Amino acid sequence: PASIAVVQGEEIKSRPALSVAEHIRDLPGVDLARTGLVQNNVVVRGFNNIFSGALLSLTDNRIARVPPLRVNTYQFIPVTSDDIERIEVVLGPGSALYGPNSANGVMHIITHSPFNSVGTSAKVGLGGRDLRKVELRHTGLVNEQLGYKISGQFYSGTDWESQGVSQETRERDFGVERKSAEFRLDYRPVDDLQAIFAAGYNEGDHIELTGLGAGQVQGWGTNFVQARLLYRDWFAQVFRNWSSAGDTYLLGTGTQIIDRSSLTVLQLQHNAALGQRQRFTYGIDGLLTRP
């Protein structure tokens, strides 16, 4: 019951991009502000700013924002372009389907199941700003009930250099680097039962603009583990996101940014029909944020 725009996987695979945000920039109603080689701020209902977390960003039903700040750093999402089945963007409030924190729209990245994407792919990219990029993905089946996926990527480059920056305690490093890896295991013992386990890691170096000024990101790492269970009209999942800011600091003051936060989420949802014309979706969400 909402206006939803969709970007399909074939279009995503054919478009070179350093961030998933670049795949939705041409959709109607999407406002994207690019602040660097890999940095983007995206909203769909206005009020964009330098440090935006208004748009609820999900990857396979998992909240994909930095846990304590609830800010969307799309370059931290460890997914390769070959692994994306589609991206759905809900242009209005999405609480009926997505629960809390979705009043300002939703971007949902849905990845391929190992059962329908068996094979190995590799991509190498070169570009301006000293850009070098490598993506690897392998998917296989152990048997008819068990499938797995392993993917990873690395890129490096040089961000656009600013002129006339003053009153900063330390010199800016315009180098950009990112490495990430993801693993997924799918188990389907019968047709209407599916269990999915996934884990991912990402680490990056770049300059990130914040409400307190530019920050020099050095070794900021984000991790997640997720388990999902789908049985007929039931859906249940538990996941944990956690991050570590590494040696990140504010350029204006030299103050170190310390982050050892986590987000743990438990969700249960059920669909029920009442006759032929009415269908209910209801459930419970538990979110525990530890800043």
The 10s digit of each residue's pLDDT in 131-151 is 999 999 999 999 999 999 999
| CA-to-CA separations, 53 to 71, 166, 222, in angstroms, rounded | 4, 28, 17
| CA-to-CA separations, 99 to 58, 71, 264, in angstroms, rounded | 12, 18, 15
Q: Output the pLDDT for position 79.
A: 93
| CA-to-CA separations, 277 to 15, 272, 282, in angstroms, rounded | 41, 11, 17
The mean predicted confidence, pLDDT, of the chain is 91
Tens of pLDDT, residue by residue over 246-282, are: 999 999 899 999 999 999 999 999 999 999 999 888 8
Residue 67 has pLDDT above 70, yes or no: yes
Strand, coil or helix: 14: coil
Instruction: Give residue 210's pLDDT band: very low, low, confident or very high (50, 70, 90).
Output: confident
Helix/strand/coil percentages in the chain, nearest 5: 10, 55, 35
Residue 219: what residue type?
G
Q: How far apart are CA 277 and CA 266, in angstroms?
A: 30
What is the average per-residue pLDDT within 230-253? 95
Strand, coil or helix: 235: strand
Dihedral of alpha carbons 214, 16, 113, 143, sign: negative
Residue 110 has pLDDT above 80, yes or no: yes
Q: Output the pLDDT for position 1.
A: 61
Instruction: Give residue 126's pLDDT band: very low, low, confident or very high (50, 70, 90).
Output: very high
Which residue, 179, 195, 74, 78, is CA-closest to 133?
179
Instruction: Give residue 94's pLDDT band: very low, low, confident or very high (50, 70, 90).
Output: confident
Rg (the chain; Cα; Å): 20
Residue 120 has pLDDT above 60, yes or no: yes
The CA-CA-CA angle for residues 3, 56, 16, to 5°, reads 85
Tens of pLDDT, residue by residue over 4-45, are: 899 999 999 888 888 899 999 999 889 999 889 999 999 988
